[in-house]
Amino acid sequence: KSQVDKAKGKTLDEISAIVSKINSQLKDKKNKLAPQIKALRSKRQNYQQVEAKYMERKGAYDQAKSGMDAELGKVAGEVRQLETEVLEAEQSYHELSMQLCAAESKLQRAHREQRCLQKTERHSQEFQTLADEYSAEITRLDEQCRELRKEQKVVKESHEDNLRQKHAFVQLERLMSVKLKISKQELQSMGDPRYGGMGVTRTVMDSSTAGVDRLVIE
């Protein structure tokens, strides 16, 4: 038992020595790290101060940026509106310019017509004034319309007769074609020696039969 107690005591002494050694080392480390820890605390404090200033300035920047963005958006909207107004104004200007040119042209024409009416100037070699030319043109067109109406009336009245006449001509042409075909066949039969041909034959055109082939036997 005394040996066990002695062994335990020895072990405890060794453990105590180790603990003392560790504590001594920790104390040495702590003493060595104390300046660094102190400097780190100072740095951390400075960092906190810098971070606080940064956050403060960032807040001011964000607020200013938000206001600036809103102002820029407002200005951009006003610019777009002004651009639209300028474009519309340019279009109106061009339209008014064209209308003004047309009005000036009409005014010059009216002044010239007035001079022609006063016989200080002549519109053309044929007409004294533009009104005279227009009147002559209107008269010509009226006469042309009357002639066209007459022609239209004649065409309507003769349309059915023309159709009947055309139909009759078509039937006559078909009949004459059939007769001509038969005549040619008979001519060939008559000229064939097997059928007692009657000699030389020839076909001539007779103007009295409107161009229909007529058989002549010689």
pLDDT (tens digit, 9 = 90+) per residue, 33-61?
Answer: 888 888 888 888 888 999 999 999 999 99
Give me the pLDDT at residue 203, please: 43
Q: Taking Cα atoms as reference points, which of 164, 211, 165, 217 lies closest to residue 191?
A: 217
Residue 208 token pair = 């009295």
pLDDT of 187 > 80? The answer is: no
Residue 92 token pair = 């109106």
SS3 (DSSP) at 214:
strand
* CB 180 within 8 Å of CB 206: no
What integer is the mean pLDDT of 153-158? Answer: 78
Residue 207 token pair = 């103007």
Alpha carbons 141 and 129: distance in angstroms, whole number:
19
Alpha carbons 217 and 201: distance in angstroms, whole number:
5
The chain-wide mean pLDDT, for the chain, equals 81
The one-letter amino acid code at 199 reads G
- Cβ contacts of 133 within 8 Å, gap of 6 or more: 123, 124, 126, 127
pLDDT of 175 > 90? The answer is: no
In the numeric block, the tokens 């040619």 are attached to 184
pTM: 0.38
Give me the pLDDT at residue 54, please: 92
